[in-house]
Structure 1
Amino acid sequence: MTPLDAATRPRVGTGFRLQWEPAQNSHVLLYPEGMVKLNQSGGEIMKRCDGQRSVALIVSELEQAFSTQGLDKDVLAFVEMAGKQRWLAWD
C-alpha cells in the first residue's frame, strides 16, 4: 500500500461492504466474519471512499456539509486506521 496523503483515493476494502442499516441507525461494514457498526463520523467518511474522491476532496465535502473547517487531520487519521483494519484500500 502506498503512503497516505491528501491525493490518496481510498476505496472500501476487498471483502467489505458498506451499507446503511436502519435497525442500527448507522452505517455498517459487512464482511464474512461479521459486522462493524460505524459512528456518524466514520460513516460519513466511509461513504465517500469510492476510489474516485481524494482525501482532500473528502475533507472538503465534509467541511462543507457540516459547516466546519480543519477536518484534514481527523479524516487522515481515520483513513489510516481504516487502512490498517483493511476496511479501506488504495494504490
Structure 2
Amino acid sequence: MDPAQPNTRTPLSVGVRGSDRPLLARHVRLTFCRTRRRRILMRPETVMVPNGSGADILELCDGRHTVDQIVAELGARYRTVPADEVRRYLTRLVDRRWVEVTDG
C-alpha cells in the first residue's frame, strides 16, 4: 500500500463494492488520441483502447465518485446501465493494476 493513500486497495479478486471510489493508478493516464479519434488509456509501454462506455466509466474514475455514483451517472446518460457489468469491468482493471480503489 502507498503510505500517501493508506486506504487504497489493489488488486481485488472479489470485486469492487458500490461504496468504493475508483481512480486511475498513478502510472496510468486517460487521454484523447487524435490518430484514433478516441480516448485511450496509457501506461508505460502499454496502450488500451476502451470502447465508448468503458471510456465513460474511466472518465469518472477520479477518486471522488463511488462505483454507485458512476452507475447512476451513466444511467442518466444512457437508458440502462447494468451495475454488475460496470463492477466487473472495474474489477478487471483493478486486477490488471490500471485502476485502484479506495474504501468508501
TM over 0.5: yes
Structure 2 gap ranges (5+): 1-8
Cα shift at 1:35: 1.2
2:96 to 62, 75, 85: 85
Alignment-derived partner of residue 71 in structure 1: 82
Distance in 2, matches of 1:14 and 1:89, equals 9
One-letter code aligned to 1:74: E
One-letter code aligned to 1:27: R
One-letter code aligned to 1:88: V
Cα shift at 1:67: 2.0
Deviations 1:34-75 (A, max 9, x none): 31111112101000000000000000000110122x521010
Please give the secondary structure, in 2, of the residue aligned with 1:90: strand
Please give the secondary structure, in 1, of the residue aligned with 2:18: coil
Runs of 4+ in 1 over 6 A off after TM superposition: none
Higher relative contact order (CA 8 A, sep 6+): 2
RMSD across aligned positions (CA):
1.4
One-letter code aligned to 1:36: M
One-letter code aligned to 2:95: K
Residues 1:38 and 2:38 are matched in the alignment: no
Distance in 1, matches of 2:16 and 2:51, equals 22
